[in-house]
Amino acid sequence: MSAVYRFFGLALIASATCTPLLAAEPDRTVEIIVGASPGGGFDRTARAMERVLEEGIVNQPIKVTNQPGAGGAVALASMNRHPGNMHYISITSPNILTDELRGMSPLKFDSMTPIATLVSEYLCFAVSTKSKITTAAELVASLQNNPEELHFGFATTPGNHNHVAFAQLAEVVGFDVMKPKTVVFKGASEAVTALLGQHIDFSIAPVASFAEYVRSGDVRCLAVSAPERMGGAMAAVPTWTEIGYNVVYGPFRGVIGPRDLSADQIAYWEESLKKMSESDAWEKEIVDNYWSANFKGHAETLKYLSTERDVLKASLTTLKLLK
C-alpha cells in the first residue's frame, strides 16, 4: 500500500515540477452562476466569458447556470455556499453595493472574493427627437429653472446606476433632484417605450439601450457619462465633461468568487480573466455591447469598490434613499 502512496506522491511532485505555471487550477467543470435569466445582460456577459475562456484559457469545461432573483443577490448567495471553492464564480455589478448600503441584503462584497473588474457601461442622457429639448445645455437649463415640469423615467430600480448618474449631475449642476416628476419602469424596454411615446421627457440608461434608437433617429442622446467620446452611433454625442460638468460614471461588471479563496486561486482567475480581456473575441463583445474595457485585477478591484462605495453613498444621500 505504502508503495502505491509513495508512487502517487512522486507522481504528484513530478507533475508539479513539470507544470510550474500556477499552484491552483480548476480540476473539474467550472460553473458561472448568473443572477439573470437567459438573454439578460449578465447572461450575455457570462456566455461571452464561457466562449472566450473555453478557447484554451481554462482547461476545464465551463457551464453557465442561470439563477435570477433580487438583482443578482440570489445567485451570489448560492455561489457563496461553496467557500474556498474556485469552481464557482459569478458576475456582479454595483447593485450589490447599493443593496448593502441601503441595508436590504445581508450579502456584502466583503463576505465574498471580488476577483476582477471587466468592463464599464457608460450612461446616456436621452430625449425623444420630437422633444423641445435638443441639447444638454437646454436640459440643464430646464432642470435649473422649471424642474417640476420635467418628467424623468428610468429602469429598473431606485438608486441604481441610472438614478445615481442623475444625482451626480444634480450635485455638479446644483438643482433639486426631487423636483422633476420621476417614475421607475420595470425594464429598459418599458422606459424606451415611454420615451418614444413621449410619456416622459428624458431618460438615462446604458448606451446600449439607446444606440439602435439613436441610429434610427427616434432618440437623441444629449450627453454621455463617459470619460471620453464613444464610438459607433455615439460618436457625435458629447461627454458631460466636454460640456463643462464633471459627471463621469459607469457601472462596472466584474467577476466575483465565493469567500475564502486562497491567494493562489485568486491569482489563477486574475491571470485567466486578464488573458480573456486581451483576446480579440472579447474585444468584439465590447464593441457589440457598447461597453468600455476596464480591466482591474484583484487588489485594484478592492480599492475601486471602496471608492465606489463612497460615491454611491453620497449619491444615494442626495436621492434621499439614505439618511
Partner 1 sequence: MSTIEFLASGIATALTGWNFAYVVIGAFVGTWIGMLPGLGPSTGIALLLPLTYGLDPTGGMIMLCGIYFGSMYGGSISSILLNTPGDVSSVITMLDGNPMAKRGRGGAALFCSAIASFVGGTIGLIALTFLAEPIARFALRFGPAEYFALMLFALVATATILKGEAVKGLIAIMLGLMVATVGIDLQSGAPRFTMGSPNLFDGVSLVAVIVGLFGIAEVFTNTGELMARRWGKVQIAGRLWMDKNEWWRCRFSFFRGSVIGFLVGIVPGAGGAVATLLSYAAEKRASKHPEEFGKGAIEGVAGPEAANNASVGGALIPLFTLGLPGSSATAILLGALMVFGIQPGPQLFVENPDLVWGIIGSLYVANVILVILNIPFIGIFVKMLKMPGAPLNAIILMLTLTGAYSLNNNIFDVQIALAFGMLGYLLRKASIPSAPLLLAVALGGTLEQSVRQALSLSGGNISGLAPSLIAAAFLGLSILLVLLGTLKPVIGLAHRIKPSLRTSIGPGKV
- DSSP label of 237: P
The stretch near partner 1 (CB under 8 A) out of 31-39, 220-228, 269-277, 298-306 is: 31-39
Distance CA 5, CA 244 (A): 70
Distance CA 72, CA 57 (A): 26
Site for partner 1 in 158-177 (CB under 8 A): 158-159
Nearest distance from C-beta of residue 208 to partner 1, angstroms = 8
Which of 25, 190, 260, 271: binder of partner 1 (CB under 8 A)? 190
Which of 27, 55, 176, 212: binder of partner 1 (CB under 8 A)? 212
The stretch near partner 1 (CB under 8 A) out of 12-20, 185-193, 251-259, 262-270 is: 185-193
Site string for partner 1, 98-117 (x = CB under 8 A): ----x-xxxx----------
Place of cell 473588474: 117
Which of 64, 123, 139, 312: binder of partner 1 (CB under 8 A)? 64
Question: Is 200 near partner 1 (CB under 8 A)?
Answer: yes
Question: Is 69 near partner 1 (CB under 8 A)?
Answer: yes
- Please say whether the beta carbons of 126 and 217 come within 8 A: no
- Cβ proximity to partner 1: between 92 and 301 the closer is 92
Question: Is 186 near partner 1 (CB under 8 A)?
Answer: yes
Which of 29, 59, 216, 306: binder of partner 1 (CB under 8 A)? 216
Q: How far is CA 78 from CA 32, 52, 126, 197, 269, in A?
A: 11, 24, 37, 40, 19
Nearest distance from C-beta of residue 5 to partner 1, angstroms = 40
Beta pairing partners, 88: 31
Cell (9 digits) for 187: 425594464
Phi/psi class of residue 304: alpha, beta or left (left: φ > 0; alpha: ψ in -120 to 50)?
alpha
Number of residues that bind partner 1 (CB under 8 A): 55
- Cβ proximity to partner 1: between 184 and 314 the closer is 184
**DSSP strands (E only) in the chain:** 30-34, 62-66, 88-92, 113-120, 123-128, 151-155, 181-185, 202-206, 219-224, 252-257, 292-296
- Please say whether the beta carbons of 194 and 185 come within 8 A: yes
Contact residues for partner 1, defined by CB under 8 A: 37-40, 43-44, 47, 64-71, 73-74, 77-78, 102, 104-107, 148, 151, 153, 157-159, 181-187, 189-190, 192-194, 196-197, 199-200, 208, 211-213, 215-216, 218, 288, 321
